[in-house]
């Protein structure tokens, strides 16, 4: 079911192509450790565009909702993805100049020719996610006290008691 999404990046830009679709979370294995369940999907749109001096660029948009793990209560905290990235294609192994590094409006993507779009989307999602996702207020009454943490196995221990 997992389709290969490999494009010739430079040709894609030259021909001003457009690629749209969706990816199941199942197809993005590097995100699996970060979510409470491998369910749902993300939408993406990739466009080949040129910079003001003809620089080859890719415009990538990704949206969707990921069920991330709250670092405080370990329950699901839904993270809404809204990625809008401009990526300039540069030869592999090239070093961007200082001026280019200071330009926050775009990122550099070293690519020789073939580009795995699925892996690119996965990279961009990983970059966009919060380092420590958490609810603004976890749904547990005890959590209003600063520094108080519910024990992650407390619920499990309660369950075990019922089974005995
Ligand atoms: Zn929480």
Phi-psi map region of 128: left, alpha, beta (phi>0 left; psi -120 to 50 alpha): alpha
* Residues above pLDDT 90, as percent of the chain: 71
Residues surrounding ion ligand 1 at CB below 5 Å: 70, 72-73, 135, 138
Rounded alpha-carbon distances, angstroms, from residue 57 to 84, 114, 138, 149, 152:
13, 14, 41, 46, 45
**Spacing, Cα 157 to ligand 1 middle (Å):** 19
Distance (angstroms) between ligand 1 centre and the Cα of 153 equals 15
pLDDT at 2: 52
Low-confidence ranges of the chain (pLDDT < 50): 1, 142-146, 148, 164
Residues 106-150: tens digit of each pLDDT: 899 999 889 999 999 999 999 999 999 999 999 765 444 445 455
């Amino acid at each position: 079911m997992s389709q290969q999404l490999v494009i010739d990046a430079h040709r894609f830009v030259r021909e001003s192509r457009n690629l749209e679709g969706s990816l199941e979370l199942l197809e993005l294995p590097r995100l699996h450790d970060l979510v409470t369940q491998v369910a749902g999907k993300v939408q993406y749109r990739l466009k080949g565009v040129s910079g003001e001096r003809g620089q080859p660029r890719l415009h990538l948009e990704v949206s969707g909702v990921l069920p991330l793990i709250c670092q405080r209560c370990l329950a699901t905290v839904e993270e809404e993805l809204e990625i809008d990235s401009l990526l300039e294609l540069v030869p592999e192994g090239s070093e961007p100049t200082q001026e280019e590094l200071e330009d926050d409006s775009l990122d550099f993507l070293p690519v020789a020719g073939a580009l795995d779009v699925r892996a690119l989307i996965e990279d961009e999602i990983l970059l966009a996610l919060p380092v420590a996702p958490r609810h603004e207020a976890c749904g547990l009454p005890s959590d209003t006290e600063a520094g108080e943490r519910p024990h992650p196995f407390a619920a499990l221990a309660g369950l075990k008691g019922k089974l005995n």
